[in-house]
Amino acid sequence: MSRRGLPALLALLPALALAPACRRGPTARALPPEDELWVKPEAIARGEVKLVRAAVRDLPQAVTAAGRIALEDLHVDHVFSPVSGRITRVLAAPGQRVEPGTPLVALQSPDVGGALADVVKAQADLEQAGADLARQRTLAAIHAASQRDLEGAQDAERRARAELERARLRAALLQAGAVDAVTQEFVLRSRIRGQVIAWQVNPGVEIQGQYAGGQATELFTIGDVRRVRVEAEVAEVDLPRVRVGAPVELEVPAWPGRAFAARVDWVASTLDPTLRTARIRAGLPNDDLALAPGMYARVAIATPPVRALAIPRQAVTWLGGQAFVFAEAGELVDGRRVMRRRHVRLGAEGGDLVEVVEGVAPGEAVVVDRPAAAGLGGSRAVLSAAQVAAAGIRAEPVEERDVPDAVSLAGRITLDAQAVTHVFSPVNGRVTRVLARPGDRVRRGQPLAALLSPDVGAARADQAKAEADLAQAAHERDRQRELVAAHAGARRDLEAAEDAWRKAAAEADRARQRAALLGPGAIDEVTQEYLVTSPIDGEVLARGVSPGLEVQGQYAGASSPVELFTVGDAGRLLVLADAYEVDLPRLRRGAPVAIRAAAWPGRSFAGRIEWVSPVLDPALRTAQVRCSVQDPQRLLRAEMYEAITVDVPGRRVLAVPRRALLRVGEETVILVEAGAAPGGGRAYERRRVVADEARAGDLVPVSGELHPGDRVVVDGAIFVLGSL
């Protein structure tokens, strides 16, 4: 019972004492003293008053702590690109389920071609060194070569083998096998099974690789949100009671009244020097995705129970900071039981029980205030049939109903990142012509700007030289093969020619890939200008270039290349909103959304939820919600801050008409028919409820002292209230 339990309990006096009288006796009745309650046997039988005997019981014990939901470390992958380059395609979206090997993003990178060329070149060097070593061993065996030449050949072979191993390791780090054989794009794939939790990519963006020596950007965060853990800080004094394997029960604000079960799987062996706490972890399944990493939780860690004399917590009344109970103290001559107020000293608590150290003996009965009798729940009035008719009193049965619901969020309109690309120049140069203006509609491959660049000529010259070297090496290889076949040439010369051909082939491949990064047909054959083209269909949203501007290329070692154009589809808009964790259980993918813009008062734009982040922002304590929006007339603009209403499934709850609710002091009450009275009248009972009056509509969800089938007064309630 709370500290305000005494007034609530005294409200039971009509059930506890039949009526005032002048003296005790079987026919004469008196008012009970201030420290007593007189309980009628029939009130106990009807359940209006509940008596419980003090007994030795096991009191559940727990260590409580504040916790936080987190992802399991072994089920999270932070994806970076191992190579530098430009993103060409984004292949995975937030919320998408991925498997090991699922493509995430494609990009063009000079690092991939270089890595493959290095492997080929190192392989050729090793084959040449191996052939030379075999030859030196043969000559040394017939005493036709010195030991020094043999040792030199062995050293060269070891160096070539080490260089090949280095090249192979670098190629493995770059995941060279992920190169698309058709498009020659480097495809970054998922390494684990999970869900795309976050991303930082969109087409056209230049990124740095993990092994390029710069600041790499995390492209994706992938995790398995079906398995999470709770982390809590346990005070130093409570540590001796916490054990690995102990049951854990946690509650989160998003799911009031729901308990999640787990078990302690780790207790830190050291204390936090500042907080003087030790961290514990407990893993738990999250198959229904009810828990979002980042949620705060109240954690209760079970400890061995305490066996003690105990009574229900609801039996305790607090007066002036002291604890009292109403314990049995005899019986009146008319059969009523006397319950006298008694001071008690309390000890340990556990669940709904509390230890009684002093004041109550085992087996003694105490009064327990049941919920239906708390507050104003016992107040009754009886009205005659004439009074009911004159006041127009009407009651309706209460039943569970589907009550419409909605969640209001604040959001920001933004462009769909999948339909926007940022255009950079891959080469250094000077802008000579600007061929597109903001607002222009462009097609994929359409020129946007022209520039003069020494890199273009160098790339073409390198490719031409590499092709010429490859042709020369091929001719020399073929000639040596013919000489060896005619026994007119040395085997050593043939091996050297084959090695030179392999090196030339690797260099030619490197030159071709570097030239391919400039884009096919991107060089004007008449003016010899390099044409920067649009990688997608769309509209020129922004331009950051003008004639005569010197620009740095993406692949020329520039630390901060200038973005020349932003191209995208301005008609594809998204709304990004932040939802508090208490609203997350009611937000589902596909739910309809109404967007209301300040620029268009009285008008709403329809949309749908596309994605709800499964993790919370650690600073804002919110989860991001991404919504599509239908705007065929293109009235909305990116970066508008607007209000969003999300229609969510209605809950099936007990609901009463709004006019049935009454306010009495700080209480919300309703009046319920309590049966027929003599002469055709009706009895009414006042009950306290908790009502969600903030919800729109005539039906108001209620909870408390109300049950399906109860008849609630909807007309004339004020008249009944005045009769109580």
Query: What pLDDT, on a 0 to 100 scale, did the predictor assign at position 377?
Result: 36
Percentage of the chain lying above the pLDDT 90 cut: 17
Contact 685, 707 (CB under 8 A): no
Give the domain-ending residue among 259, 282, 304: 304
What tokens does 178 get?
A: 């992920």
Q: Domain range for residue 141?
A: 74-223
| pLDDT bracket for residue 264 (50, 70, 90) | very high
Output the pLDDT for position 40.
Answer: 83
Residues 155, 156, 157, 159: what is their CA dihedral angle, to the nearest 10 degrees? Answer: 90
Residue 217 and residue 223: Cα distance in Å, rounded? 18
- Tokens representing residue 328 in the block: 């049995």
> Is the per-residue pLDDT at 161 higher than 50?
yes
In-domain check, residue 562: yes
**Count: domains in the chain:** 5
Flag whether pLDDT at 22 surpasses 60: no
345-362: per-residue pLDDT in tens? Answer: 999 888 889 999 999 999
Domain containing 698 — which CATH number?
2.40.420.20
CA–CA dist 331, 329 (Å, integer): 7
Strand pairing class (429-434; 447-452): antiparallel
pLDDT for residue 701: 82
How far apart CA 537 and CA 418 sit, in angstroms, is 12
String of DSSP letters for 236-250: GGGGGG--TT-EEEE
Q: Residue 595 falls within a domain, yes or no?
A: no
Domain boundary among 195, 223, 251: 223
| pLDDT category of residue 428 using cuts at 50, 70 and 90 | confident
Strand ranges inside 290-375, DSSP E? 296-312, 317-319, 322-331, 337-343, 345-350, 353-358, 365-368
Predicted confidence at residue 99, as pLDDT, reads 92
In the predicted model, what is the mean pLDDT of residues 124-145?
A: 84
pLDDT band, very low/low/confident/very high, at 31 (cuts 50, 70, 90):
low
290 and 312 inside one domain: no
Q: What is the pLDDT of residue 232?
A: 95
Residue with tokens 């993103």: 87
The distance in angstroms from the start CA to the end CA of the chain is: 25
User: Which domain-ending residue is among 208, 223, 238?
Assistant: 223
CATH of the domain at 246: 2.40.30.170
Q: Which residue has the higher pLDDT, 30 or 540?
A: 540
Structure tokens at 99: 């498997």
Residue of 358, 325, 319 whose CA lies nearest to 341: 325
Above 60 in pLDDT, residue 185? yes
**Residue 471 CA, distance from chain mean position:** 58
In a domain? residue 593: no
- Same domain for 560 and 669, yes or no, is no
Length of the chain, in residues: 724
Residue 352 lies in a domain: yes
Structure tokens at 371: 């919920």
- The chain-wide mean pLDDT, for the chain, equals 81
Q: Is the pLDDT of residue 568 over 70?
A: yes
Do residues 647 and 592 make contact, with C-beta atoms less than 8 angstroms apart?
A: yes
Among 537, 562, 617, 538, which residue's Cα sits nearest to residue 584?
617
**Which pLDDT score is estimated for 26?**
38
More confident residue, 6 or 389: 389
* 234 three-state secondary structure: strand
Mean pLDDT over 176-194 rounds to: 73
For residue range 603-625, what is the model confidence (pLDDT) as tens digits?
A: 888 889 999 998 898 888 899 99
pLDDT over threshold 70, residue 588: yes
Q: Say if residue 255 is in the same domain as residue 133.
A: no
Mean pLDDT of 217-244: 91
Sign of CA dihedral 431, 433, 439, 443: negative
**φ/ψ (deg, to 5) at 473:** -65, -35
**What DSSP assignment string belongs to 434-499?**
E---TT-EE-TT-EEEEEE-HHHHHHHHHHHHHHHHHHHHHHHHHHHHHHHHTT-S-HHHHHHHHH
Same domain? 189 vs 103? yes
Q: How many CB atoms lie within 10 A of CB 23?
A: 8
Residue in the block written with tokens 């000890």: 347
* Residues 313, 330 share a domain: yes
553 and 427 in a single domain? The answer is yes
The mean pLDDT value for 242-271 works out to 91
Note whether 429 and 557 are same-domain residues.
Answer: yes
**Side-chain half-sphere CA neighbours of 472 within 13 A:** 10
Instruction: Tell whether 577 is covered by a domain.
Output: no
pLDDT one-digit tens code per residue, 372-411: 333 333 466 778 888 888 878 888 888 887 766 778 888 8
Q: What share of the chain is helix, strand, coil (3-state, %, to 5)?
A: 25, 40, 35
Instruction: Return the number of other C-beta atoms located less than 10 Å from residue 114's C-beta.
Output: 20
> Does residue 647 surpass a pLDDT of 80?
no
Are residues 356 and 339 part of one domain? yes
Helix ranges restricted to H, 147-295: 147-173
8-state DSSP, 653: E
| pLDDT, position 19 | 34
Do 323 and 359 lie in a common domain?
Answer: yes
292 and 623 Cβ atoms separated by less than 8 Å: yes
pLDDT at 556: 59
* Structure token pair of residue 352: 């709904």
This prediction has a pTM of 0.65
CA distance 19 to 157: 112
Spatial CA neighbour of 15 closest among 32, 28, 35: 32
Q: Is the residue at 190 inside a domain?
A: yes
State residue 372's pLDDT score: 38
Model confidence at 23, pLDDT cuts 50, 70, 90, reads very low
pLDDT given for residue 298 in this prediction = 93
Q: Same domain for 531 and 508?
A: yes
d(C-alpha 296, C-alpha 286), whole Å: 15
Q: Does residue 645 lie within any of the structural domains?
A: no
Q: Each residue of 79-106: pLDDT tens digit?
A: 988 887 778 888 898 888 999 989 998 8
What DSSP letter does each residue of 396-431 carry, written as one string? EE-EEEEEEEEEEEEEEEEE-GGGEEEE--SS-EEE
**pLDDT for the residue numbered 183:** 56
Considering the domain architecture, whether residues 238 and 181 belong to the same structural domain is answered as no
Highest mean pLDDT among 24-28, 320-324, 436-440: 436-440
User: In this structure, are 387 and 444 located in the same domain?
Assistant: no
Instruction: Please tell me the predicted confidence (pLDDT) of residue 28.
Output: 40
